[in-house]
């Protein structure tokens, strides 16, 4: 039982770390995309995209 508990905790930690790295990469890509959008598109559209991005990040945190 103790082994299972320890092993499960390590597995959970590894998945959290993996997810964090993945979301860091995603965040970096989204930041670059946002910069591109800022140059190309109108500010109102950028604001809408930002709202969608915030909604998405809040949803993924649940």
Listed in sequence order, the residues at least 6 apart from 37 whose beta carbon sits closer than 8 Å to its beta carbon are: 45, 46, 49
Q: According to the per-residue pLDDT averaged within each range, which of 1-5, 13-17, 26-30 is highest?
A: 26-30
Work out the burial of residue 17: count CB atoms within 10 Å of its CB; fewer than 13 is exposed, 13-18 middle, 19 or more buried: exposed
Evaluate whether 21 touches 29 at the Cβ level (below 8 Å).
no
Task: Write down the pLDDT at residue 12.
Answer: 61
Task: Write down the pLDDT at residue 7.
Answer: 54
Task: Write down the pLDDT at residue 16.
Answer: 61
- Give the pTM: 0.28
Task: Write down the pLDDT at residue 33.
Answer: 79
Instruction: List pLDDT tens digits, range 17-49.
Output: 666 666 666 777 778 777 776 676 666 666 777
Evaluate whether 49 touches 37 at the Cβ level (below 8 Å).
yes
């Amino acid at each position: 039982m103790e082994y299972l508990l320890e092993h499960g905790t390590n597995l959970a930690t590894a998945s959290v770390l993996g997810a964090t790295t993945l979301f860091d990469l995603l965040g970096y890509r989204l930041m670059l995309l946002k910069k591109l959008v800022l140059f190309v598109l109108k500010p109102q559209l950028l604001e809408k995209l930002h709202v969608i991005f915030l909604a998405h990040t809040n949803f993924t945190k649940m």
